[in-house]
Amino acid sequence: MLLLGIETSCDDTGIGIVDSTRTIRADIVASQLADHKPYGGVVPEIAARAHLDVIDGAITRAMADANITFADLSGIAATTGPGLIGGVMVGAMAGKAIAAVRRLPFIAVNHLEAHALTPRLTGDIPFPYLLLLASGGHCQLVFVRGVGDYRVLGRTIDDAIGECFDKCAKLLGLGYPGGPLIEQAARNGDPSAFALPRPMVGRANCDFSFSGLKTAVRTAVQGRDITPALVANMAASLQAAIADSVADRARHAFAMLENEKPAAFVTAGGAAANQSLRARLAAVAAANNVPFDAPPARLCTDNGVMVAWAGLERLRLGLTDALDTPARPRWPLEEMKG
């Protein structure tokens, strides 16, 4: 089986081609970073127009990289939600058009499921497993029982980790996107320099909260000279606070799964590329006697490869979708069907 995947839910146009041997045949990502950097975040209309400008060329390059024709494909997968609706519509319509013209199966992919299944592409992880899905817009602890079968144990009640990194990086004058810049600055800082709160630590459930952490960072730097030393120390302190909070939430998730032991603990999503966070999660996995796994950083951020793989997982179960399947700005994992 050979699947083409299209990802346009936010600000990257991702086109991937994957086969059933877990071989990535093509991985094209057209970044819009330069378009959105002046605004300090993603502007939905700019994103949608940029997807429209580059998607045809990105698909052409992916097909050339894979050295295939459309006749070689087994199906077309495209993200149909959740995400910025303008961008989602661009990718979904492109995928549907190819599927219609070439008479190929169309698979409507949930962006969150694509992240959730990526560890099965890169690490051949068996079901069931515990997942931390951490990105700019999402932060969830999910028990992944199978394709389309998800039990959300906890989610953020306000902001996600990526959002917290972005806003705090802006406060520190680091720019956008915040996650990689915070991680880089933290390497030269003291994680104990600022006494930041550890949101939700000790609470009985597995929910997250990061809005108060953003407020604490703003309060701590307000009226102070933003020197390189302050930036490094605050970045390290922020990273440590997030890692402590997430590790605590993960320990609670394992406690909730006492009677359903996961085969592994995995993480995915853009914020999951943070090496400090990965180290803390690996320690939680070791304490619970399960392996820890995370995709390579390039497959944690949005990409077409994860969409192609999710489409392949669904197609081999006979799960296809009609060409009138709508684009959806919201699509919780709990609403998925296997």
DSSP 81-92: ESS-HHHHHHHH
Residues 15, 307: Cα–Cα separation, whole Å = 8
- Contact (CB, 8 A) for 199 and 242: no
Q: Is the peptide bond before 177 cis (omega within 30 degrees of 0)?
A: yes
pTM for this structure? 0.94
The pLDDT tens digits of the residues spanning 298-316 come to 999 999 999 999 999 999 9
The per-residue pLDDT for 135 is 81
Residue in this structure with the two tokens 């969150």, named with its chain if needed: 112
The pLDDT tens digits of the residues spanning 274-295 come to 999 999 999 999 999 999 999 9
Maximum distance among all Cα pairs of the chain, rounded to whole angstroms: 62
What backbone phi and psi angles, to 5 degrees, belong to 25? -90, -25
Residues 60, 76: Cα–Cα separation, whole Å = 14
* β-bridge mates for residue 107, sequence order: 77
The per-residue pLDDT for 77 is 98
- Contact (CB, 8 A) for 174 and 227: no
The pLDDT tens digits of the residues spanning 197-239 come to 999 999 989 999 999 999 999 999 999 999 999 999 999 999 9
Sheet with 75-81: strands ordered across: 24-31, 12-19, 2-7, 75-81, 106-110
- The residues, ordered by sequence, that sit 6+ positions from 307 with a Cβ below 8 Å of its Cβ are 5, 6, 7, 14, 16, 77, 78, 79, 109, 111, 114
Q: Decide: helix, strand or coil at residue 209.
A: coil
Are β-strands 292-293 and 265-268 bridged in parallel, bridged antiparallel, or unpaired?
A: parallel
> Of 298, 274, 269, whose CA–CA distance to 27 is shortest?
298
Q: Which domains does the chain have, with CATH numbers?
A: 2-116+299-335 (3.30.420.40), 127-296 (3.30.420.40)
> Of 135, 125, 132, 69, whose CA–CA distance to 101 is shortest?
69
